Structure formats: C-alpha cells, structure tokens
Amino acid sequence: EVQLVESGGGLVKPGGSLRLSCAASGFSFSDAWMNWVRQAPGKGLEWVGRIKSKTDGGTTDYATPVKGRFTISREDSKNTLYLQMTSLKSDDTAMYYCSFRQAYWGQGTLVTVSS
Amino acid sequence: DVVMTQSPLSLPVTLGQPASISCRSGQSLVYSDGNTYLNWFQQRPGQSPRRLIYKVSNRDPGVPDRFSGSGSGTDFTLKISRVEAEDVGIYYCMQGTHWPPTFGPGTKVDF
C-alpha cells in the first residue's frame, strides 16, 4: 500500500525558513517523480514543484511564486522527499501535500507564516 | 500558465439525481504524445485530494462507476450519474499537459 506522510510544518515568522519532509513507502521511491502541492486555507490547489528520479536526471521544476525560495530534494536511501522553504511570506501559509503520480497524496502538513 | 476554469463554482445536488461539472482550459491539452492530461480530483471536507479520473476519462481504482469523465481539446466534463451522500465536497480539474500543472478553482458540490 502506498503511503505518504508529511511532517515538519509549523508556525514561522515572515522571512524565516522551514524544511518539510515526506516519508514514502509501498512503492519504488527511487524510481518516482515526486511533487509538492499546497492549499492555502479555504482556497484551491496550487502546484509547488517536482523532482524527477535520479535515473531521469533528478532535476527539479518550480512554480513561479516559489522559484528561487523553495528547493525540492530527495534522499532515496531513506525514501524521503524534502521541501526546503526560505524567505517565507504570509502568502506561503498553506497545507503542503506531497504527491506521487497525482494518484497518491499524503495527509498534508500545515505551514503558517505569521509574526 | 494555462488557466483552467470550472462551472458552476457551486452545485446544489439532489440524492439520486445526476450532476455535471464543466472544465475549460485556456489552450489545448493534447500533448505531443497524443494523450490529453486532464485529471479530476475530489476533496471531501477535511481530507486530502483524491484523484477520480485521469487522462480525461479513465477512472482510478476504487472509484465508483457513477463517476465518468469526457471531453477533448479544451472542454471537459465530469458527470455523476446518481449523486450519493458521500459525494459532497469540492471537485477540481487539473491539467498536466503544460508546465506548470494548473488546477481549476474548484466546484463545491453540496445538498
């Protein structure tokens, strides 16, 4: 059974940093292209970015609002996906989900950016 | 970015009756490989999104057959043949043809 479990969310001040993790199980994580998607409170879904498998180059792509501030990485030996977020703004307040093939989603971890 | 629009944004439904949601994209979603990467998601209150339909009309495993997807090019539809109580939630279309993937604003389905 595919499982994705996000962690690392919390309250952070504007300009601060936070690293989210997504622990994956039930599939071949090293072969997977993984994604981060977020949802601001009461709002719709927004793609944050993705990372390809190392076999496919391991490259990353980001949505414009987070480019240059967020970094997606992976640690295949630990079946874990990361989202390093820096220079956080109030607009980054959201539930952050990791997703595999768009068919599998974690339960999300809430990030609140507020002073 | 490709803009996705949905209508209606709010859909009052009746148990046992059909329901339909429209999704339109700002440009064709036909990819160079010939596939059309249009998905539909359901998000029940307090839950993570769940994919119902991929590539326009393919149901994900475990999705009831009362859900169906259709369309082509820029116009797509999600239909529920007979609404059940568990279908309450917000439905999103999403295109994966053009980077970045983009979602529609969502359609709230409620009684």
**DSSP string for residues in B52-94:** EEETTTEEPTT--TTEEEEEETTEEEEEESS--GGG-EEEEEE
Q: Looking at the DSSP assignment, which residues form a beta bridge with residue B107?
A: B91
The phi, psi pair for B109, rounded to 5°, reads: -105, 125
**Nearest Cβ partner for B100 among A47, A103, A107:** A47
Mean pLDDT, to the nearest integer, of B80-94?
A: 97
The whole-number pLDDT of residue A109 equals: 98
Which tokens sit at A104?
A: 């599998």
At B95, the amino acid letter reads Q
List residues of A whose CB lies inside 8 A of any B CB.
37, 44-47, 61-64, 97, 102-103, 105-108
Token digits of residue B16: 């046992």
* Tokens coding A94: 């959201």
pLDDT tens by residue, B21-80: 999 999 999 999 999 999 999 999 999 999 999 999 999 999 999 999 999 999 999 999
pLDDT of residue B15: 96
List the structure tokens of B67: 């859900």
Residue from A2, A4, A6, A45 to probe the interface with B (highest B Cβ count within 10 Å): A45
Residues A25 and A3 sit within 8 Å (Cβ to Cβ):
yes
Q: Tell me the pLDDT tens digit for each residue of A19-37.
A: 999 999 999 999 999 999 9
Residue A70 has a pLDDT of 98
pLDDT digits (tens, 9 = 90+) for A76-96: 999 999 999 999 999 999 999
Shortest Cα distance from A103 to chain B (angstroms)? 5
Taking the C-alpha atoms of residue A58 and residue A113, their distance in angstroms, rounded to an integer, is 29
